[in-house]
Structure 1
Amino acid sequence: MPIPTGPTQVCRDCRRDLPISKFSRAGRKDGFRRPECRQCQHARSKQINPNYQYTEGSVAARAAHTMTPGEVSKIKTEKIRSQNGECVYCTAKITVSTCHLDHRTPLARGGTNERGNLQALCAPCNSEKHSKTHEEYIVWLVAFGQSAARDRSGEI
């Protein structure tokens, strides 16, 4: 597929001539775009996985939840202080520069940036938690990974 040179591209699936912005790059930096428009791409994903969710305004909704770096630093400081300088899950020592600000209920699952929905975690716990809610991650830790969390904190 050639690199699009004009302001539009024809979708492989719906055959509509659409603005190039309606086609995903799928992480590519070489100029290539996916051959199907985002709407057809999401329709195909829904066919493959009935649990797939896409909301038309998700990009705008996420932008509405954006915080400034100053706000993030202030909230990290508050959360670390309230958690006695420890990760919620593995009790590893964390600082403002080493912690990740995590959503107890992820934005992708309807959470918000309200302070009550935020917690400070170490990087390994935040990566492992991914898009699980706080409650789901606790269940997961008990079932599969509690020893790994304790290994990170040095308790074992």
Structure 2
Amino acid sequence: MKISFENAKRKLSQPWFFAAAILFIIMFLQTIGGKFEDKTVEAWGWLTQNLLPTLSLIIAVFVTDSSVESKDREIEKFYFNLAFGISIFYLLIVLGVLLSGPFSSKGLIEWLQSSSIYLGPFQGLVVATIGIFFIKKSN
């Protein structure tokens, strides 16, 4: 079953921008609350490395697609569901890591940095899946 690529593209971007806004607010509040002490740069580095690659891909596709005249492109619903589902799962894990930090026996920065062991490879799968979604569109 095929669906409109333009609609699917917008729906896929929504959780990314919403989650980025929520995570930014949480990080901002923790920063002004002094939760990161003198490690604020490391904390924000953790957030940006886990969000910006995928957000950059999404924004780049929006910009490049804005010059494309064909607005009746379609995509298999499977590719949208796969990209959307893995995105939601990944974003929930990132949020979970950030929110569970205060309950860790490690320091907050050490907790965030140790999550890179699993978030890094998982992010690779997410970006690959979203990349496939963007490539598989048809006219």
| Higher normalized contact order (CA 8 Å, seq sep 6+, divided by chain length) | 2
Larger radius of gyration: 1
Bin the TM-score by the shorter chain: under 0.3
Task: Name the one with the larger helix percent.
Answer: 2
TM-score, length basis structure 2: 0.24
Task: Name the one with the larger strand percent.
Answer: 1
